Homo-oligomer: A and B are copies of this chain.
Amino acid sequence: MSLTAAARVRPVGQDHYSISEVASYTGLSAHTLRWYERIGLLNGVHRSHTGQRLYTDGDLDWLDLIGKLRLTGMPVADMVRYAELVRAGDQTMPERTQLFREHREVVRQQIEDLRTTLAVLDFKIEFYEGASSQCTP
């Protein structure tokens, strides 16, 4: 669910990165990066004179945000919707605020649910440990 620290080191600040550099930075596969672009989640990635993708620092920032939203279980379709709103310009800001406000509640609820489960897990672990220590006193 979470990426290693090593993978998260942004390559030299040259402001143009190959697909494999971005893949190792984000932990997404090159396939997924191309797919994100195809479905409109990542728009207007620049190309070299030979047609290869060149990602900018701005693209990396965008992928960071997308990655966080993905970790919260936001459906790809919703992220695409957000990308469309950003592309549409500043007049969509109220709608974007609304989208994030709703998602914030979802995330809050998830944290609540996880905390409840964590308590159950702690209880179970304690129970199993108590039971096994009775076997080997």
Choose among B69, B73, B97, B110 the residue that contacts A132 (Cβ–Cβ < 8 A).
B97
Any B CB within 8 A of the CB of A104? yes
B132 touches A104 (CB 8 A): no
- Chain A residues bordering chain B, tally (CB within 8 A): 39
Asked if A110 meets B1 with Cβ closer than 8 Å, knowing A128-B93, A132-B94, the reply is: yes
A96, A103, A109, A117 — which one has the most chain B CB atoms within 10 A of its CB? A117
In the complex, A19→B125 CA distance in Å?
31
Interface of A is mostly: helix
**Number of identical monomers bound together in the oligomeric complex:** 2
Does A28 have its Cβ within 8 Å of any Cβ on chain B? Answer: no
Q: Is A31 an interface residue (CB 8 A)?
A: no
Q: Report B-chain residues with C-beta under 8 Å of the C-beta of A94.
A: 128, 132
Contact sample, A vs B, 10 pairs, CB 8 Å cutoff = A1-B110, A2-B113, A72-B113, A72-B117, A93-B131, A96-B128, A97-B128, A97-B132, A104-B118, A110-B114
Give chain A's interface residues, CB within 8 Å of chain B: 1-2, 65, 68-69, 71-73, 90, 93-94, 96-97, 100-101, 103-104, 106-118, 120-122, 124-125, 128-129, 131-132
